[in-house]
Amino acid sequence: MKLTNEFIQLPLLFDVEQLKKEVAKFTQADWKTHHEGFNGNFSIPLISVGGKNNNDFKGEMKETSYLQSSPYLRQVISSFGEVIGRSRLMGLAPGAEVPLHSDINYHWFRRVRIHVPIVTEPSVTFYCADKEINMKAGEAWIFDSWKYHRVCNASDVFRVHLVIDICGSSRFWALSEKGNCPGEEEKTPRAAFTNIPFETSTQPPIYTEKYNAPLVMSPGEMEGLAYELFDELHRSPNNSAEDAAEFRKIVRSFCQDWRVLWTQFGLTEAGWPHYHNCRNRAFESVRKFDTRLKLANGTQAPRMFLFCMIDPALNVEVKNDYLAAVNTDDSGNITL
Looking at residue 336, what is its pLDDT? 52
185, 208, 231: which is the final residue of a domain? Answer: 208
2, part of any domain: no
Whether residues 256 and 187 share a domain: the answer is no
Looking at residue 123, what is its pLDDT? 98
Nearest to 4 by CA among 167, 146, 165, 163: 146
Whether residues 109 and 174 share a domain: the answer is yes
Q: CA 32, CA 303: separation in Å to the nearest integer?
A: 28
Looking at residue 335, what is its pLDDT? 62
Q: Which string of DSSP letters, residue by residue, matches 83-130?
A: EEEEEEEEEE-TT-EEEEE---SHHHHS-EEEEEEEE--TTEEEEETT
Looking at residue 322, what is its pLDDT? 84
Q: CA 149, CA 151: separation in Å to the nearest integer?
A: 7
Looking at residue 34, what is its pLDDT? 82
Nearest to 85 by CA among 179, 197, 200, 169: 169
Nearest to 67 by CA among 33, 24, 22, 27: 22
Whether residues 97 and 193 share a domain: the answer is yes
Whether residues 262 and 169 share a domain: the answer is no
77, part of any domain: yes
Q: Is the dihedral of CA 300, 305, 310, 313 positive or negative?
A: positive
Whether residues 137 and 229 share a domain: the answer is no
Whether residues 110 and 180 share a domain: the answer is yes
Looking at residue 332, what is its pLDDT? 61
Strands (E), 129-199: 131-133, 140-143, 149-153, 159-166, 194-196
Report the number of distinct structural domains present in the chain: 2
User: Please, what's the b/e burial string for 6-31 (b: 16 or more CB within 10 A of its CB; e: otherwise)?
Assistant: bbbbbbbbbbbebbeebbeebeeeeb
Whether residues 119 and 200 share a domain: the answer is yes
Looking at residue 62, what is its pLDDT? 98
Q: What CATH number does residue 42 fall under?
A: 2.60.120.330
Whether residues 116 and 15 share a domain: the answer is yes
Whether residues 243 and 204 share a domain: the answer is no
Looking at residue 323, what is its pLDDT? 73
Structural domain range at position 304: 219-323
- Residue 94 one-letter amino acid: P
Whether residues 168 and 303 share a domain: the answer is no
Contact indicator for 166, 112 with CB cutoff of 8 Å = yes
Low-confidence ranges of the chain (pLDDT < 50): none
208, 227, 259: which is the final residue of a domain? Answer: 208
124, part of any domain: yes
Looking at residue 203, what is its pLDDT? 87
Looking at residue 331, what is its pLDDT? 66
Looking at residue 37, what is its pLDDT? 73
Task: Dump pLDDT digits (tens) for 164-207.
Answer: 999 999 999 999 999 999 999 999 999 999 999 999 988 899 99
329, part of any domain: no
Nearest to 231 by CA among 148, 146, 320, 288: 146
208, 241, 261: which is the final residue of a domain? Answer: 208
260, part of any domain: yes
User: Which DSSP state fits 80?
Assistant: T
Whether residues 48 and 137 share a domain: the answer is yes
Contact indicator for 139, 117 with CB cutoff of 8 Å = yes
Residue 114 has phi, psi (to 5 degrees) of: -90, 130
- Residue 134 one-letter amino acid: N
59, part of any domain: yes
Whether residues 137 and 252 share a domain: the answer is no
Looking at residue 35, what is its pLDDT? 77
User: Please, what's the b/e burial string for 285-317 (b: 16 or more CB within 10 A of its CB; e: otherwise)?
Assistant: bbeebeebbbbbbebbbbebbbbbbbebbbbee
256, part of any domain: yes
